[in-house]
Amino acid sequence: MGRLRGGLRCIKYLLLGFNLLFWLAGSAVIAFGLWFRFGGSMKDLPSGDKSPEHLYVGLYVLVGAGALMMAVGFCGCCGAWRESQCVLGSFFTCLLVIFAAEVTTGVFAFIGKDVAIRHVQTMYEEAYHDYLKGRGRGNGTLITFHSAFQCCGKESPEPVQPTCPQELAGHKSCIDEIESIISVKLQLIGIVGIGIAGLTIFGMIFSMVLCCAIRNSRDVI
């Protein structure tokens, strides 16, 4: 430790700063993922066999990557401070895994958006028709959907009016609201995923440069 000089020492401290930022970003990603899953309009969606798993797959990957980011950020700080090639090499490998996970999340969010939207719309339509046919299980599910998306019915609210939120002003088609809300949320997930992937590129560059510099300085000695 302490053999680096000049610009390479600057790289070391840049990597330390990067890892602090990376750790904070991991915390933010986890908080965002948990809020998306258990807060906002998504918290009241059905669970179990009727849950929209297509919608949550990318989200689960995002939260997992956020947890890994926090661990990797700490590992990177230790490697940079101790000037350890082994730890920095492991740090680079972990960043590569995070990069792949975040790119996968971003691509899934953008490309799989239509599949997720249609899946949730189909769930709503099944509950809608069950309610009209007088089946009990459609009642609670419709109330959940109407509360989560602040909407009522399809073309007209009259057939399902008893299940609609009392505070809802005007008519909002649930089919349209599902598409609009999920589209925005998945785009946000995609942007976060791609943004974090871009951030990891800088970390991989810094760690590679620092690792090579440490090796060269020891070869000279």
Higher per-residue pLDDT: 213 or 50:
213
For the ranges 7-21, 98-112, 174-188, the maximum mean pLDDT occurs at 174-188
How much of the chain exceeds pLDDT 70, in percent? 83
Tokens 């609009």 -> residue: 180
Q: What is the mean pLDDT of residues 65-77?
A: 85
The single residue listed with the structure tokens 């599902």 is 178
Q: How confident is the model at residue 111 (pLDDT cuts 50, 70, 90)?
A: confident
Checking 212-217 for CB contacts under 8 A at 24+ apart, the result is: 213/4, 213/8, 213/11, 214/3, 214/4, 214/83, 214/84, 214/85, 214/88, 215/85, 217/3, 217/4, 217/8
* pLDDT number for residue 221: 47
pLDDT at 85 over 70: yes
Lowest mean pLDDT among 5-9, 23-27, 162-166: 5-9
Q: What is the mean pLDDT of residues 131-145?
A: 75
Instruction: Look at residue 1 and tell me whether its pLDDT is greater than 80.
Output: no
Residue with tokens 């060269």: 216
pLDDT at residue 180, as a whole number: 92
